[in-house]
Amino acid sequence: MPQLTVSVERFPIRGSFTIARGSKTEAIVVTAEIRDGDAIGRGECVPYARYGESVEGVAAAIDAMRAAITHGLDRESLQRLMPAGAARNAIDCALWDFEAKRSGRRAFETAGVPAPSSVLTAYTISLDTPEAMASAAARSGHDLLKLKLGAAGDAARLAAIRAAAPHTRLIVDANEGWSAGDLAANLDACARAGVELVEQPLPAEHDALLAEIEHPVAICADESVHGLDTLPHLVGRYDAINVKLDKTGGLTEGLALAKAAREKGIDIMVGCMVATSRAMAPALLLAGLARFVDLDGPLLLAHDREPGLRYVGSRVLPPEPELWG
């Protein structure tokens, strides 16, 4: 019979990771492992305080599913038993991996999506002074940069970065850090800098304003989108959504959300929390549906898991079965 275990691990971040809400120096991840004989499936999640999650609470929620896993819980039943969020993500991805390991059939085949291929991923530049961010952009060596903004002086940051990296593609993540008062000016600064996409400029509770203004740059929901039930509220406000498995509660709902959004003419960005390759690998199954891929979490760590994903320049390669799926 399948047995479920849960573990908590800490991975130091290279330097620090800073967004509008604060900084951190380590990634704390929670892993669900499902084992039956030689078949072992694993899924990793990152509890996020912004959504009312804690490491202890998520680990306890996963552990509470131990009996259900032993009695043969499947992914469909899991969607009904647990809400969207990090805990369900870990179990859902572990179930996908477990099924692949036990059957010998790759997860992408079961999901009915094309085999993952090498894809361009964004690389994140943390929020800092204009000079520091411009220097980081110039030396990054990546083709697509994701700029963490959301503080006073963002127009100066954008101008400095564009001057330092004139040919690099740029997307911006304001992490709910702008307001009705500075939104138009910041979007104009993004347009002048050639930014291709702006994530979550306003706090989620204020995003109705986005339906009333021009979008000189495409605007992407992040904190405003979680599972399928949140999608109807975004139509007419956002041009794209950031599908993160820790928000959707796993690959199962992530796939359904991405497909439903595309049917409504909404572009897809596949994103991540700062985590290891084990968390990135399932999200790569969504890359074929996405306009933008932002799966650089392992590149921000001092060290990744072994084996991990391979990153070659600005591209991330599909996972080997030993890692996931």
Catalytic member of 101, 146, 148, 247: 148
Please list, in sequence order, all residues whose beta carbon lies within 8 angstroms of the beta carbon of residue 51, skipping any fewer than 6 positions away. Answer: 85, 86, 226, 247
- 134 and 261 inside one domain: yes
- 63 and 141 inside one domain: no
- 258 and 135 inside one domain: yes
Per the DSSP assignment, residues forming a β-bridge with 19 are: 22
Residues of the chain with pLDDT under 70: none
| Domain-located, residue 284 | yes
- 94 and 129 inside one domain: no
| Domain-located, residue 89 | yes
Whether the CB-CB separation of 221 and 200 falls below 8 Å is answered with: yes
Question: Helix, strand or coil for residue 316?
Answer: strand
Residue 148 among the catalytic residues: yes
> DSSP assignment of 251-310, as one string?
HHHHHHHHHHHHHTT-EEEE---S--HHHHHHHGGGGGG-SEE---GGGGBSS--SS---
Beta strands in 20-107 (DSSP E): 22-36, 39-45
**Terminal CA-to-CA distance of the chain, rounded, Å?**
20
Token couple for 64: 């509470």
The pLDDT assigned to 123 comes to 97
Per the DSSP assignment, residues forming a β-bridge with 34 are: 4, 41
The pLDDT assigned to 16 comes to 80
- 93 and 145 inside one domain: no
pTM over 0.85: yes
Write down the number of H helices and E strands in the chain: 11, 14
| Domain-located, residue 174 | yes
| Domain-located, residue 249 | yes
Question: Helix, strand or coil for residue 128?
Answer: coil
Find the domain containing 292 and state its range.
119-316
Whether the CB-CB separation of 191 and 216 falls below 8 Å is answered with: yes
Q: Please state, in angstroms and as integers, the Cα–Cα distance from residue 51 to each residue in 42, 46, 86, 268, following that order.
A: 23, 11, 10, 21
307: cis peptide before it, omega within 30°?
A: yes
How far apart, in whole angstroms, are the C-alpha atoms of residue 54 and residue 86?
A: 10
The domain tally of the chain equals: 2
Token couple for 295: 């799966």
Token couple for 24: 């951190």
| Domain-located, residue 325 | no
How far apart, in whole angstroms, are the C-alpha atoms of residue 257 and residue 245?
A: 10
| Buried b / exposed e along 127-149 (16+ C-beta atoms within 10 A) | bbebeebbbbbeebebebbbbbb
The pLDDT assigned to 110 comes to 97
The predicted-structure confidence for 193-238, as pLDDT tens digits, reads as follows 999 999 999 999 999 999 999 999 999 999 999 999 999 999 999 9
Catalytic member of 24, 101, 146, 244: 244
Residue 146 among the catalytic residues: no
| Domain-located, residue 21 | yes
Q: Please state, in angstroms and as integers, the Cα–Cα distance from residue 146 to each residue in 69, 95, 182, 215, 220, following that order.
A: 38, 31, 20, 19, 13
Whether the CB-CB separation of 86 and 31 falls below 8 Å is answered with: no
- 273 and 148 inside one domain: yes
The pLDDT assigned to 22 comes to 82
- 275 and 217 inside one domain: yes
| Domain-located, residue 302 | yes
